[in-house]
Chains A and B, each alone.
Chain A
Amino acid sequence: MDIRRRRVLQLLGLSAAALTVKPVYDALAADPAAGRPRVGPGREQLKAKQWAMVIDTRRFASEADVEPLIEACHRIHNVPHFELKRWEIKWIWATEYKHAFSGTSSDRFLADAVEKRPFLVLCNQCENPPCVRACPTKATFKREDGIVMMDFHRCIGCRFCMAACPFGARSFNYTDPRPYLKHTNKLFPTRMKGVVEKCSFCAERLAEGKRPACVEAAGGKIAFGDLYDPASEAHQWVRKNYTLRRKVNLGTEPAVYYIV
């Protein structure tokens, strides 16, 4: 309730400011710029304070349930496949409970179902991200909507962010990935060798008003939305269910929640 009231107030304040600023802006921005194409978020852009994902792991029973999601992500994001394990790049993958929650949550005498279940892991878009703190060039940065983004053109490939991420969510291009792509999605950039990459919560899809590809492929088994918006599905799921997050004891505040 409180949050909602604050946001309404914020919005009112903003629109008041906008009303006063608008004429001035119009006067200043007159002509030369008019008619030029503008770069920036489009009208359909989805907005949030902190995007979050809630994965209902109860509804993922086997590899076959997770494969299509992983495939969807890696295909549209031009994530290459290497035979050589050393060069592996992955944005989202499935692992066992004991690996996903290593160190923070009991993995002994687990319920049978939980023990065998595949757990999807990806970048948690942490609210307090150590990778952002570590990056010496701001090539990794946190956006206003909570997404931890990568600038592939600024990254110097020092891999400090990889050491800083306590979830192993980041991959490095140990070689030029392009020859290893089976097909290329022309709408998404391919990477060059020597830069780091990771899941970006499909920021490019959110900009077009679409939900992340893995969420779409999950067909209702993953909720996505603004964690702080009581009306969002993600918020409602975490309110209604007992959820876990990975390594909460480290204080990074992961924004990916798991219903177990």
Chain B
Amino acid sequence: MLEFAVKGSKRYYGWMIFLLGLVGVGFLVYLRQLDVGLGITGMNRDVSWGFYIANFTFLVGVAAGGVMVVLPYYLHDYKAYGKVTILGEFLAIAAVVMCITFILVDLGQPMRVLNVLLYPTPNSVLFWDTIVLNGYLLLNLIIGWNVLEAERNGVHYQGWLKPLIYLSIPWAISIHTVTAYLYCGLPGRGFWLTAILAPRFLSSAFASGPALLILLCLIIRRVSNFDPGWKQIQSLAVTVAYAICVNVFFFLCEVFVAFYSQIPEHMDHIKYLFVGLHGHGAYVPWMWAAMALMVLGIILLVNPVTRKTEGTLIVGCLAVFFGCWIDKGLGMISGGFVPNPLHEVNEYIPTLLEGLITIGVYGLGFFVLTVLYKIAIGVKEEVRA
């Protein structure tokens, strides 16, 4: 099936070359990071995780979000999703590839990464995260590829895939749960030390993942002869609408607990993010923008009229996607580290160089995604013809 990825229009090649350009720039900057060290980033002694880990966290959500099409199709026999499950699975693959790359670029000694497997440490959540992420990648590769191949050959997929498909559903939940456990099990980090962190991560995942999938479906309709289907897009939009409502609800629960209990350790991080603390407030406009975007997303997607109009649907999905990205990608990580354990405020501002590496990783992810989608669409077009 790989031949589909090699043959393409000028526009396709142009897009791929553009993405490779981003990867190239990111790679060159990464070589500099390898040489100098992580000191080229804005991270410091207090905020020791930054943009890389934040984007990693966000993308684990996108990967887990793919399950929102897989689950209804395989578990509830929701036939309509038959057309889009492969898109969900391939999106998950591209997202996990980005996650793993982000982890690698974040390591101080990337050459030693195998130490995680050479000295397996079950009490470390990072050990489990390595396992569930790689497992999820493998599951989706096997399932996606084989199901697509079966479709191409006009046969039902092999029987042994069924248990793997069922396994992939709880596995999707597990990747984001374990990722939340990276944070919420740490004593002394009041912002993360909350049982609702994993549910909150999942709800934002089920909003941002399908939102991105809708946007991708709409693009596919434009640029190819394969139509994922308006009905499917609408069902996905309903998922996004409720997931984003739940996400905002969970956040408000968090705010209530912190501000009604008035426990400083829990309040101060939220204060820092939304109103600033001790005169520092680099994230204040961003966080309010995130809130505004999420509310806009709720208004546009819950309301049936705007949800069913393509223009407003696009705006709604973009709002949800970027709202979640700011909330989880920017605020969640820096917010947890400020103020620091000694209650001092040292802000983290990402540098241009780490931004370029980040863009390079996204370039890589979208390259993988385009290749996979090109193959999937090629098969779909062929089967239809």
Contact = CB atoms under 8 A, between A and B. Distances in A.
A195 interface: yes
Contacts of B121: 135-138
A224 B310 CA distance: 71
A84 B103 CA distance: 25
B56 to A, nearest CB: 11
Interface in B235-288: 264-265
Interface string A108-143: 000000000000010000000010011111110000
A102 B39 contact: no
Interface residues of B, number: 47
Interface string B50-88: 000000000000000000000000000000000000000
Interface in B308-361: 336-337, 340-344, 346
Contacts of A167: 188, 341-342
A134 B127 CA distance: 9
B112 A134 contact: no
Nearest to B111: A156
B125 A155 contact: no
Given A134-B126, A154-B119, A250-B187, A195 B109 contact: yes
A102 B342 contact: yes
A230 B103 CA distance: 47
Which label, helix, strand, loop or mixed, suits the secondary structure of the B interface?
Answer: loop
Contacts of B46: 168
Interface string A136-168: 111100000000000000111111101111111
A168 B384 CA distance: 60
B37 A176 contact: yes
Contact of A166 (B112, B113, B124, B189): B189
Given A159-B49, A160-B124, A134 B109 contact: no
Given A195-B108, A250-B188, A133 B49 contact: no
Given A134-B124, A138-B119, A86 B44 contact: yes
A156 B182 contact: no
Interface in B154-190: 182-183, 186-189
B48 interface: yes
B39 A174 contact: yes
A99 interface: yes
Give the most central of A163, A165, A192: most B CB within 10 Å: A163
B105 to A, nearest CB: 11
A193 B343 contact: no
B113 A156 contact: yes
A201 B209 CA distance: 48
Contacts of B336: 163
B38 A172 contact: yes
Contacts of A90: 45
Contacts of A171: 45
Given A136-B116, A137-B119, A163-B189, A193 B124 contact: no
Given A88-B44, A171-B45, A250-B188, A159 B108 contact: yes
A138 B336 CA distance: 25
B126 A163 contact: no
Nearest to A162: B48
B107 interface: yes
A50 B288 CA distance: 49
B9 interface: no
A160 B106 CA distance: 11
A171 B43 CA distance: 12
Contacts of A100: 342
A173 interface: yes
Given A136-B121, A158-B103, 19 more contacts: A86-B42, A87-B44, A88-B44, A102-B343, A130-B186, A134-B124, A135-B121, A137-B118, A156-B110, A156-B112, A156-B113, A157-B107, A157-B112, A163-B48, A166-B341, A175-B37, A175-B39, A195-B108, A196-B108
Interface of A: 84-90, 95, 98-100, 102-103, 121, 130, 133-139, 154-160, 162-168, 171-176, 192-196, 247, 250-252
